[in-house]
A and B are shown apart, each in its own frame.
Chain A
């Protein structure tokens, strides 16, 4: 009986003591995992697929979760060091060198797992467009009946300004049974006027409609705001140009042209400044001869 008390005591005291020691060690050690966090994966995808035997699916899930956590951790670190919220337009400012390998591993272990291809198509073009294209081509080879992979690949080519290739990819995707009819229309538009704002607008709208991902929808929303803002700034420039022709000098403040702005279809603030699609007033630049987005605007520059 007495021995039992000692054993219970050993458990009750031992476990919290071990936990406290771990906590102390965590606080006083140099975070050894940090130095290995960016280390490239030891094994390539095909070798890993062999090693995992029948468990390649669960291994693919593991690498998928790891990719999500990798990006999540980078965003948290960015926000901690930059005292502000992270925008997906700033992806290139994150050091995501391991992400392509993680996604490649995931898709090699489970080539039918589509989400990593979509995720890669969304994230990788800002970091490594060639890797994004290679990943999407691998996805298409493994899943030739998935038209959305063609849509994402076409989008990447369009982003690079390769409208001819984008048109080809959209056309190939359009031939897949079940592909929506607008794939053919987008292909034709890419060929005829790939760089035009209207083509971009249509592509973003279809990208949003075809995706369930909230991040994609958010990205499309900001990109549509950017397109709206480009059109608005063109209209403002016309108003500014008319004013300078009429008066012989550029506008010194928005008040001078505040009556002409609503006539050009622009929203204005109480101070008479035109508002961008994010609701932030535009700013006058080049001594009142040009217009630009304010630094605090949620509308991306590109």
Chain B
């Protein structure tokens, strides 16, 4: 974020808030920061990955018919949704860890925080900005997969609609990962934060194994450690519906609601922890 944009965030709110730092979260300021974080991501050519994605899908749609023995629709869904998740994970990790770090490195953070903006508001705005970027990214990619399905099926197919619950779950998973990336970046370097976030992504998909380990361990302390890890780390298997979506199966409403609720609570906890760490960080 440039100094100019940092000024433009705070300026409209100064008139509204006599002492905004102490009066809780101002959604106008948060929205302004989020909007700027989104613009910054666009300026940083984050959405260029869409070009790669489109090329991947076009190539797959054209050539799969010849080599997949009639399974091109399934493969398009698997490939498309996996690519959405993979590209999304890269964006969430590499952009997420730099959200705060870049502002400190360029010293634009001082300009922003000298305005009546709380550190929590700044973090929340940055987080929502990246979530908006991911939303645009995921929505465009999802539409691309739907179009590719229309192409390979030579017309309408129920899969075109049935993949969207899985896409929504992917988005929720990315929202959690973004919050994880921000948490790590609040107290460590970008490289280490990226590595740790990637580990969380991997371990998050091993949740079922953690639970099995917790149940199968002989000693009570070891059982508690694994049970603790199971409940502490994000359970990302809740968001894995790609394979089922490829068979036209969507998770039921209750599972979707539970996944959304879990994601909302987990992101809330992560952002609160990030804000807590960041508010105590010495920025001098």
Of chain A, the residue at the smallest CB distance from B249 is: A112
| Contacting pair A115 B69 (CB below 8 A) | yes
Tell me if A176 counts as interface (CB < 8 A to partner B).
no
Of chain A, the residue at the smallest CB distance from B246 is: A57
Docked complex: A58-85 residues within 8 A CB-CB of B? 58, 60-61, 64-65, 68-69
Known A-B contacts: A54-B205, A119-B69, A213-B70. Give 11 more (CB < 8 A).
A50-B209, A55-B82, A55-B86, A57-B78, A57-B243, A60-B243, A61-B74, A61-B78, A110-B246, A112-B243, A112-B244
Q: CB within 8 Å of B: which residues of A?
A: 50, 53-58, 60-61, 64-65, 68-69, 110, 112-113, 115, 119, 212-213
| Contacting pair A54 B78 (CB below 8 A) | no
| Contacting pair B74 A113 (CB below 8 A) | yes
| Contacting pair B205 A53 (CB below 8 A) | yes
Hey, what's the 0/1 contact readout for B69-107 against A, CB within 8 Å counting as 1?
A: 111001101110110011000000000000000000000
Of chain B, the residue at the smallest CB distance from A68 is: B69
| Contacting pair A61 B75 (CB below 8 A) | yes
Residues of B near A65 (CB, < 8 A) are 67-68, 75
Residues of B near A55 (CB, < 8 A) are 82, 85-86, 242
Residues of A near B86 (CB, < 8 A) are 55
| Contacting pair B68 A54 (CB below 8 A) | no
Docked complex: B163-211 residues within 8 A CB-CB of A? 201-202, 205-206, 209
The complex places the Cα of A57 from the Cα of B69 at a distance, in Å, of 16
The complex places the Cα of A58 from the Cα of B67 at a distance, in Å, of 15
| Contacting pair B82 A112 (CB below 8 A) | no
Residues of A near B206 (CB, < 8 A) are 50
Residues of B near A56 (CB, < 8 A) are 243
Q: How many of chain B's residues touch chain A, expressed as a range?
A: 20 to 34
Residues of A near B246 (CB, < 8 A) are 57, 110
| Contacting pair A61 B71 (CB below 8 A) | yes
21 contacts between A and B (CB under 8 A): A50-B209, A53-B201, A53-B205, A54-B82, A54-B239, A56-B243, A57-B77, A57-B78, A57-B82, A57-B242, A57-B243, A58-B79, A61-B68, A61-B71, A61-B74, A61-B79, A64-B71, A65-B68, A68-B68, A69-B67, A115-B70
Given contacts A61-B79, A112-B243, A112-B247, contact A53 B67 (CB under 8 A): no
Q: CB within 8 Å of A: which residues of B?
A: 67-71, 74-75, 77-79, 81-82, 85-86, 201-202, 205-206, 209, 236, 239-240, 242-244, 246-247, 249
The complex places the Cα of A264 from the Cα of B81 at a distance, in Å, of 63
The complex places the Cα of A53 from the Cα of B209 at a distance, in Å, of 12
Interface of A is mostly: helix
CB distance from B72 to the nearest CB of A (A): 10
| Contacting pair B71 A54 (CB below 8 A) | no
| Contacting pair A115 B71 (CB below 8 A) | yes
Of chain B, the residue at the smallest CB distance from A67 is: B69
Contact of A54 among B69, B209, B236 (CB under 8 A): B236
The complex places the Cα of A136 from the Cα of B201 at a distance, in Å, of 34
The complex places the Cα of A53 from the Cα of B77 at a distance, in Å, of 17
| Contacting pair A110 B243 (CB below 8 A) | yes
Residues of A near B201 (CB, < 8 A) are 53
| Contacting pair B68 A53 (CB below 8 A) | no
CB distance from B39 to the nearest CB of A (A): 30
Of chain B, the residue at the smallest CB distance from A64 is: B71
Residues of B near A212 (CB, < 8 A) are 70
Residues of A near B85 (CB, < 8 A) are 54-55
Residues of B near A53 (CB, < 8 A) are 201-202, 205
Q: Which 10 A-B pairs have the closest CB atoms?
A: A57-B243, A57-B78, A53-B205, A58-B82, A58-B78, A54-B240, A61-B75, A112-B247, A55-B82, A57-B242
Residues of A near B78 (CB, < 8 A) are 57-58, 60-61
Residues of A near B242 (CB, < 8 A) are 54-55, 57-58
Of chain A, the residue at the smallest CB distance from B243 is: A57
Residues of A near B75 (CB, < 8 A) are 58, 61, 64-65
Residues of B near A119 (CB, < 8 A) are 69
The complex places the Cα of A115 from the Cα of B72 at a distance, in Å, of 12
Residues of A near B239 (CB, < 8 A) are 54
Of chain A, the residue at the smallest CB distance from B245 is: A57
The complex places the Cα of A113 from the Cα of B142 at a distance, in Å, of 22
